Amino acid sequence: MVDSDLINRFVLNPLMLRNDNNTFDGTVKQEVTSQLLKDTISVKKVKKFDLENYIYTNLMPQNSLKKVNKFNEILEGVNSGNCALFVDTINIAFDIDVKGFKQRSVDSPNNEVIIKGSQEAFVENIRTNTSLLRRITNNENLIIESLSIGEISKTKVAVCYMNNIANPELVNEVKYRLNNLSLDSLISTGQLEQLIEDDEKSGIPSLLATERPDKCSKFLMQGRVIILINGNPYAIAAPAVLIDFLSSPEDTNLRVTFANFLKSLRFLAYFITLLAPGLFIAVTSFHQEILPTELLFSILASRESVPFPIIFELLIMEISFELIRESSLRVPGPVGSTLGIVGALILGDAAVSAHIVSPLLIIVVAITGLSSFAIPDFSFSFHLRVYRFIFVFLGYTAGFLGIGLGLFVYINMLCSMKSFGVNFTDPLTPNLSLGHNSYFVKPAWKQEKRASYIVPKKEKSQPQISKKWKY
């Protein structure tokens, strides 16, 4: 875990080689020159020798050297790749940073790919991640506080925020929750999300995880807090609201018309993913009268030779689609595309030919699956996939009445959720905001205020007239 060359050059050599640095005899010779006599008088002064300070300031040419007086701190440093130096007669030890283990270099994002924007992603090393944030933010007000979580693992966690923008109460709440975790080990970002989020029973994510430094820098400028974990290439942004899970970093880089068009598509995909199968089964089972006669005859003709009830057909196709999605993630890369073709085309066509499912049902399931891929956040998309089955059963048992009651409960859950004191549905409720809190993107020259639901120190992000060359 260490770099042997660093230990040899900067630890062992200064201690073992005989030179002016390690042969200090406790005296200092000082030459005094008299201007009148034009001669030099050598004065020998005795200086009190402090071995601890001498090693710390003179002998170790290492820029990352720390004094430690507790064994658990030494063990933590050695386990993370540092070198511990003990010297007889001194009641402290020196923790020297000589890490040399291999680590992944900065690469392009794998799960949050955008076309027109930064192509850098976080890596597993926390110091590399903090340097990416500081390089993009480029401001001295960026505060990065480090702490350890886990009695055994002692995982390094960094809390990042803009001191002149972030609300102090939000920062204190984040640090309070992190400092009051009692567990043996912390391994991943997903584990930490479950430990510090407000509502963990509904399954709806209330914290946003991202692998993009540019996205985190944008959150920092808004007044949010970013949490980085050593060994994990994802960061947690707090607080997070509903519209954050439907937004993409691409929205900032595109023109306003295109960005808002994509946001509208994602909002539509949100409802299609959640409700489309349930509405289909409710219409075909209870409310056939709302369909045009020709379409109703077409549906009946396609299902004439299908021996199973429609709920059975729908569950077969939905579970098959989820199996294809999961297996395509687990198989080797070159086989993944082949598996998708086999599952989507061959099996679907064979199921229709064998009169197991109707063609219209396959279209509904396919549109629902494509809509789930349009959700930018994986965790939020996953919760929609799970809740979709609940609405399927509600639509099968009670039609539109069941779906209406399910929507009432679901929206009530969303409105009652909080993320570090911020309402999860802000700014959509209680009043749909069309100002600076709006879900839709405003032109860059109109983004004068930060989101008020985060309660930042600085409300304004730019003057009213930012295009001074024009106005």
3-state SS string over 107-124?
CCCCCCCCCCCCCCCCCC
Instruction: List Cβ neighbours of 13 (8 Å cut-off, separation of 6 or more).
Output: none
- Paired residues of 238 in beta bridges: 225
What is the Cα–Cα distance from 406 to 336, expressed in whole angstroms?
A: 36
Q: Which amino acid is at 211?
A: E
Parallel, antiparallel, or unpaired: how do β-strands 155-162 and 93-97 relate?
unpaired
Q: pLDDT tens digits for 271-318?
A: 999 999 999 999 988 888 888 888 888 878 877 777 888 888 888 888
Q: pLDDT tens digits for 241-264?
A: 999 999 988 888 888 899 899 999
The tokens describing 458, both together, are 């600085």
Higher pLDDT, 417 or 63: 417
- Name the pLDDT band for 176 (thresholds 50, 70, 90): very high
What is the Cα–Cα distance from 95 to 60, expressed in whole angstroms?
A: 11
Residue for token digits 């020798």? Answer: 49
Q: pLDDT tens digits for 218-245?
A: 999 999 999 999 989 999 999 999 999 9
The tokens describing 223, both together, are 């007044």
| pTM, rounded to two decimals | 0.83
Parallel, antiparallel, or unpaired: how do β-strands 418-419 and 225-229 relate?
unpaired
- Of 122, 49, 165, 156, the closest CA to residue 449 belongs to 165
What is the Cα–Cα distance from 199 to 331, expressed in whole angstroms?
A: 34
Q: Give the three-state DSSP class for 28.
A: strand
CA–CA distance from 129 to each of 228, 234, 244 (Å)?
8, 9, 22
- Of 71, 57, 61, 86, the closest CA to residue 7 belongs to 61
What is the Cα–Cα distance from 387 to 406, expressed in whole angstroms?
A: 10
- Paired residues of 97 in beta bridges: 82
Q: pLDDT tens digits for 18-53?
A: 666 566 555 555 555 555 445 555 555 555 567 888
Element spanning 159, H or E: strand 155-162
Residue for token digits 């702490």? Answer: 147
**Helices 359-373 and 256-285, interaxial angle, to 10°?**
150
CB contact at 8 A, 183 and 99: no
Average pLDDT over residues 373-386: 90
Higher pLDDT, 384 or 353: 384
Residue 82 has pLDDT above 60, yes or no: yes
Residue 437 has pLDDT above 80, yes or no: no
What's the distance, Cα to Cα, between the start and end of the chain in Å?
A: 59
Instruction: List Cβ neighbours of 426 (8 Å cut-off, separation of 6 or more).
Output: 241, 437, 453
Q: Which amino acid is at 365?
A: V
For position 430, what pLDDT does the model report?
A: 64
Q: pLDDT tens digits for 102-127?
A: 778 888 888 888 888 888 999 998 98
Q: pLDDT tens digits for 445-469?
A: 888 888 888 889 888 888 888 888 8
Q: Rounded to 5, what percent of the chain is helix, strand, coil? A: 50, 15, 40
For position 325, what pLDDT does the model report?
A: 81
Phi-psi region of 385 (alpha: psi -120 to 50; beta: other; left: phi over 0): alpha
For position 24, what pLDDT does the model report?
A: 59
What is the Cα–Cα distance from 252 to 440, expressed in whole angstroms?
A: 11
Q: pLDDT tens digits for 314-356?
A: 888 888 888 888 877 777 766 666 666 666 667 777 777 777 8
Higher pLDDT, 164 or 15: 164
Beta-sheet strand order (sheet of 93-97) = 65-68, 93-97, 82-86
The tokens describing 300, both together, are 């009946």
CB contact at 8 A, 436 and 451: yes
The DSSP symbol for 165 reads T
CB contact at 8 A, 267 and 259: no
Higher pLDDT, 47 or 210: 210
CB contact at 8 A, 50 and 90: no
Q: pLDDT tens digits for 144-155?
A: 999 999 888 889
| Cα of 311 vs its chain's centroid, Å | 37
CB contact at 8 A, 191 and 232: no
What is the Cα–Cα distance from 82 to 19, expressed in whole angstroms?
A: 26
CB contact at 8 A, 339 and 325: no
What is the Cα–Cα distance from 208 to 249, expressed in whole angstroms?
A: 13
Q: Which amino acid is at 423?
A: N
What is the Cα–Cα distance from 371 to 168, expressed in whole angstroms?
A: 39
Residue 411 has pLDDT above 90, yes or no: yes
